[in-house]
Amino acid sequence: MKSTCLRIELNEGRQAEEYRIVGANVEGRRIHLEHQSVENAWWPLTSAELSNHVQRNTVGARWLEQCWGWRRLLRACVGPEVWSGTREYESSNSDYRDSSSI
């Protein structure tokens, strides 16, 4: 079973970033371990933030690829507006074939 939470400790263990998968979204938060305080509540990562993680090949990006696979991660990086246009094209073009079904 794949973990839906990831914790990355920073600054020699004084801070941490936590990420979790909630439904089809990724949320993150920062924790100051020295003070045992949470900087902010969980916030949803945008497609631009996810894309930045993938471009930098971060631990978080590799974790998401393990959890979701590269296709789902790619879709999350480009945002839902791109994929809604693709679905309209697929339904209007009877010759269209999804490469994953080949």
Give residue-wise pLDDT tens across range 39-79: 668 999 999 999 999 999 999 999 999 999 999 999 999 98
What pTM value is reported for the model?
A: 0.70
Q: How many domains does the chain have?
A: 1
Nearby residues of 39 by Cβ (< 8 Å), 6 or more positions away: 29, 30, 31, 32
Amino acid (1-letter code) at residue 37: S
Task: Give the pair of three-digit tokens for residue 66.
Answer: 């393990």
Domain assignment of residue 53, yes or no: yes
Domain assignment of residue 102, yes or no: no
Q: What share of the chain is helix, strand, coil (3-state, %, to 5)?
A: 45, 25, 25
72-100: per-residue pLDDT in tens?
999 999 987 655 555 554 444 444 444 44
Residue range(s) defining the domain that contains residue 81: 5-97
Cα torsion angle, 94, 95, 97, 102, sign: positive
Q: What angle do CA 66, 42, 20 make, to 5 degrees?
A: 15
Domain assignment of residue 68, yes or no: yes
Domain assignment of residue 66, yes or no: yes
Domain assignment of residue 69, yes or no: yes
The burial class, CB within 10 Å (0-12 / 13-18 / 19+), for 50 is buried
Distance CA 71, CA 69 (A): 6
